[in-house]
Amino acid sequence: MFLKRITMILYCFSFFFLVAAENTPYTFGVLAQRNALLTAQYWNPILTYVSSKSGVLLVLKVARTAPESNLAIQKGTYDFVYSNTIFSPKMAEANYQVILRPRDQAITGQIVTLTNSSLSALQDLEGKEVGFPSLTAFVGYAVPTDYLRHQGINVIPFSEAIKRALWHNLK
């Protein structure tokens, strides 16, 4: 379902560019949230399909890391961007504008603890160190911390917590 929606969205907006030269490639930047191979395996068939139907050549561009992706987006490196960080104030410098967005429900994040944890309510997090996958992650950091702030709950963001837990489990 999601793939069909993305394909349809990309197909629709490609008509805006029918006046462009047939072989002029447009870069399509995707926020690096998975490795480049998985990203390419997912997006290249979509971009190939849209390009074949529209006559507009779309070329996938992926940075190595999410911070590098954000920097490229911030600089306006790509012609088109598929990213959930486009709403960050820093991204305004690139002057992208939203031309399409999913009709699905609003994006959500999750805050989880172990089942035997003494933390059982959000208020229990007050003043505590809370681990996030990355301090640049929109869904994994910005969405939950914004919610906590609006609830008056102050936490100490910590992105190394995940790495420590992984290393501990590997020993």
Q: For position 5, what pLDDT does the model report?
A: 60
C-beta of residue 159 within 8 angstroms of C-beta of residue 132: yes
In the predicted structure, residue 1 carries a pLDDT above the cut 70: no
Instruction: Outline which parts of the chain fall under CATH 3.40.190.10.
Output: 2-94
pLDDT band at 119 (very low <50, low <70, confident <90, very high): very high
Residue 164 pLDDT exceeds 70: no
- Return the CA Rg of the chain: 19
150 vs 109: CA distance, rounded Å: 15
Residues 64, 36: Cα–Cα separation, whole Å: 7
Q: Is the pLDDT of residue 83 over 70?
A: yes
Q: How many helices (H) and strands (E) does the chain have?
A: 5, 5
pLDDT of residue 32: 82
Whether 170 has a pLDDT exceeding 60, the answer reads no
Segment 107-118, tens digit of pLDDT:
777 888 888 999
DSSP 106: P
- What average pLDDT is seen over the chain? 81
Considering only CA atoms, which of 85, 39, 84, 38 is closest in space to residue 60?
Answer: 39
Mean pLDDT calculated for residue range 119-124: 93
Homologous superfamily of 2-94 in CATH? Periplasmic binding protein-like II (3.40.190.10)
Higher pLDDT, 152 or 14: 152
Phi, psi of 104 (to 5 degrees): -65, 175
Measured CA to CA, the distance from residue 149 to residue 155 in angstroms comes to: 9
List, in sequence order, the alpha helices (H) in 15-142.
36-54, 66-74
40-54 average pLDDT score: 93
